[in-house]
């Protein structure tokens, strides 16, 4: 097992939200985002799509940075079996939010840890059910005008303290933000990376959220 401080850990993402969450595991890491084609293939289910993107990001990052342990992830919002990406403009953001307000949906993250002990890349995935609150049209327009929806899958950030988009959450909150930490911890340990921090406790304290699923993941 690698000792904390000796791991050449790399996050293949420029997301500040993923970086914030990754700091909670207590290991130093570098940020080296990679660029891939994120187009959805014809007939590709949301889970397969997210898993493919995470896998392609991990493979490219490891190829560009040999000798590292790479973490790559992709998060999609799924409504009616369709993966919703980032809105192209304000009109698309408004359409997504109105659509998601009508019924519960899910947020799905796929992640891959590659490198480490030489084993095959380790995939994980996590799904969380989300119910949006009943926001008014002026609230929606103010949120869109803030710019926050434009780089978010599904056009919202669940952690936005002013808009407070969600009324109910079933599962892992870190997953909805973009990086399910218990799943990541499990994959890192399988890759030979020691994680000494009590990740569920650190995550719940940071997010101020009582997680109902962490014991099923890290038992």
Please check the confidence at residue 1 and state whether its pLDDT lies above 80: no
Predicted TM-score (pTM) of the model is 0.92
74 annotated active-site: yes
* pLDDT tens profile 43-97: 999 999 999 999 999 999 999 999 999 999 999 999 999 999 889 999 999 999 9
CA–CA distance, 219 with 156 (Å, rounded to integer): 32
Q: Which residue among the candidates 37, 74, 148, 198 is catalytic per the annotation?
A: 74
* pLDDT tens profile 91-143: 999 999 999 999 999 999 999 999 977 667 789 999 999 999 999 999 999 99
CA–CA distance, 29 with 22 (Å, rounded to integer): 8
What are the extents of the domains in the chain?
9-217
| DSSP class of 33 | -
9-217 architecture in CATH?
Alpha-Beta Complex (3.90)
């Amino acid at each position: 097992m690698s000792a904390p401080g000796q791991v050449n850990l790399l996050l293949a993402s420029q997301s500040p939200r993923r970086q914030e969450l990754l700091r909670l595991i207590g290991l130093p890491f570098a940020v080296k985002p990679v660029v891939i084609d994120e187009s959805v293939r014809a007939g590709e289910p949301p889970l397969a799509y997210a898993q493919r993107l995470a896998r392609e990001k991990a493979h490219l990052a490891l190829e560009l940075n040999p000798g590292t342990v790479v973490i790559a992830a992709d998060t999609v919002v799924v409504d009616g079996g369709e993966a919703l990406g980032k809105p192209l403009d304000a009109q698309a953001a408004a359409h997504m939010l109105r659509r998601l307000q009508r019924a519960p949906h899910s947020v799905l993250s796929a992640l891959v840890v590659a490198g480490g002990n030489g084993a095959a890349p380790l995939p994980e995935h996590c799904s969380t059910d989300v119910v949006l609150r009943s926001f008014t049209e002026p609230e929606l327009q103010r949120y869109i005008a803030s710019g926050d929806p434009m780089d978010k899958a599904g056009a919202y950030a669940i952690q936005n303290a002013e808009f407070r988009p969600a009324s109910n959450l079933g599962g892992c909150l870190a997953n909805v933000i973009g990086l399910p930490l218990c799943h990541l911890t499990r994959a890192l340990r399988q890759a030979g990376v020691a994680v000494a921090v009590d990740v569920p406790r650190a995550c719940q304290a940071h997010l101020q959220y009582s997680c109902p699923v962490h014991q099923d993941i890290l038992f």
